[in-house]
Structure 1
Amino acid sequence: MDDLRQSDPEGIRRRKADKWAFVPPGDRAESYAMLAERVRPVFAALDAPTILVAHGGITRSFLALYANVPGDEAVRTEIFHDRVLHVSKGRVEWV
């Protein structure tokens, strides 16, 4: 982020305006929205109790896709590294 602030201040403004859809520089870069679509089939294929270990972007994608959290809110949601996001019977909670 520090490098981006110096090299592309307009990019930082675009990111602040729409963090969910912002695509950072780089050939393989993707926005949170793109990430959510990429991982959607993985989530959709889960048909049994599952433990999924992933980084915050995946968690935010899950919240947007399956917990009815709007994307612009999902990107600002605190992701806990010392808790488990438990999902059961339509209920989503950190435990």
Structure 2
Amino acid sequence: MNKSGNNSGAGAARFAPPFMIFIRHGQTDWNAEGRMQGQRDIPLNDTGRDQARRNGAALRDYLKEQDISLKDLSYFVSPLSRAVETMDLIFGELDLPTDLYQRDERLREITFGAWEGYTIPEIAARSPEQAAARKADKWGFVPPEGESYRMLSSRIDAWLATITHPAVVVSHGGVMRVLQGRLLPMPPQDIPTLDIPQDRFLVWKDGEIEWV
């Protein structure tokens, strides 16, 4: 378990409940190939399914250790199939019925628009000036027909402001970067580069972040 910092002065943290768990969906083939996935509906691969089961078992053990009841939590998931299947596999480990979780459109991944399906080297070869602009400002850059991290943060802030109950959330790497950046004080330009593993989950508790 790794803890990171305290949230004093964090921007959107004032909207967050005292306890939340964020889980990134398991690996897909496009993750493994380094393709910009965005809102394309790419399914989990076998590695991703194993990661989801691992996170479900670890979550079950963590909640038991913390004496937190499953019935005291709300459950939210992105509607993209890789997130829904991840939640289904986690629920299998928790022995919960899948009608307990809510799909929320605001938890969809950041969209890369016309760039989805391409790797960064492929984009650099096709659009070198735009690739350089993205590298210089990942927070504010808007891909063709896509969405910037700044735009995503507005969507996630709106969602976060509605969460008033301890929750478990399954979503995406970009979403979880923004969530972590909103909960902890950090420069916006650092948010798009945060590492978001698929074989651990993030716990927000008492103003601190911990990876389990």
TM-score by length of structure 2 reads 0.42
Give the alignment of 1:37-52 within 5 angstroms: 37-52=154-169
SS at match of 1:53: strand
Bigger radius of gyration among the two: 2
Percent identity over the alignment is 37
Larger RCO (alpha carbons 8 Å, 6+ apart): 2
Deviation at 1:52, TM superposition (A): 0.6
Q: How many residues align?
A: 93
SS at match of 2:203: strand
Q: Matched residues in 2 for 1:49 and 1:78: separation?
A: 24
Which of 191, 197, 209 is matched with 1:80 structurally? 197
The residue aligned with 1:55 is 172
Give the alignment of 1:1-95 within 5 angstroms: 1-26=120-145, 29-95=146-212
Deviation at 1:2, TM superposition (A): 3.6
Does the Cα contact within 8 Å between 1:21 and 1:33 map onto a contact in 2? yes
**In proportion to residue count, which structure has more strand?**
2
The residue aligned with 2:59 is none
Deviation at 1:50, TM superposition (A): 0.3
Q: Matched residues in 1 for 2:191 and 2:200: separation?
A: 17
TM-score by length of structure 1 reads 0.89
Does the Cα contact within 8 Å between 1:63 and 1:69 map onto a contact in 2? no
Q: Matched residues in 1 for 2:139 and 2:129: separation?
A: 16
SS at match of 1:52: strand
Q: Matched residues in 2 for 1:25 and 1:3: separation?
A: 15
Q: Structure 1: where are the runs of 5+ without partners? A: none
